[in-house]
Amino acid sequence: MIRTCRVCGQKNRLDPANLASAARCGKCKNPIAPVAEPIDVDASSFDEVVSRAPVPVLVDFWAAWCGPCRMVAPEVSRTAAEMAGRAIVLKVDTEAEPALAARYGVQSIPNFLVLKAGRLVRQQPGAVDHAQLRRWLEAAGAEPV
């Protein structure tokens, strides 16, 4: 995954196993904070992150045309910011990645998964708030806020 240093603008390649921890910029050596926003992924980056993440992963299956998906997007972003360093939040566009949605039996959106060590811990369709998303991640082993 590529993360840009906020100090010098250098693009840094980070191992998916390090997305939830602080890293250092290869150019200026300033810290690169853990990911604090949802990450849009395709099938290959999804598999890479989910299989290597040392923390629980929340996945939001969504589509641009979906009103409830757009309504819950701020809650997903808030959860990513609140859980930075303790969990990773991914977004999967079901229009672009139908095979990935089919792999998890996603038939309605929004649809949320929580995975830990690559295994499905919870799956829930429907819109929910950030507090519920956080509780699911904490139940999967994320450190409480």
Would you please indicate which residues are annotated as catalytic (active-site) residues?
66, 69
DSSP count for the chain of H helices, then E strands = 4, 9
Residue of 131, 53, 38 lying closest to 93 (CA atoms)? 38
d(CA 90, CA 39): 5
Cross-strand partners of 62:
93
> 103 is written with which tokens?
């792999």
Residue of 130, 131, 110, 111 lying closest to 68 (CA atoms)? 110
Residue of 6, 38, 39 lying closest to 25 (CA atoms)? 6
> 81 is written with which tokens?
């910011």
Cross-strand partners of 124:
112
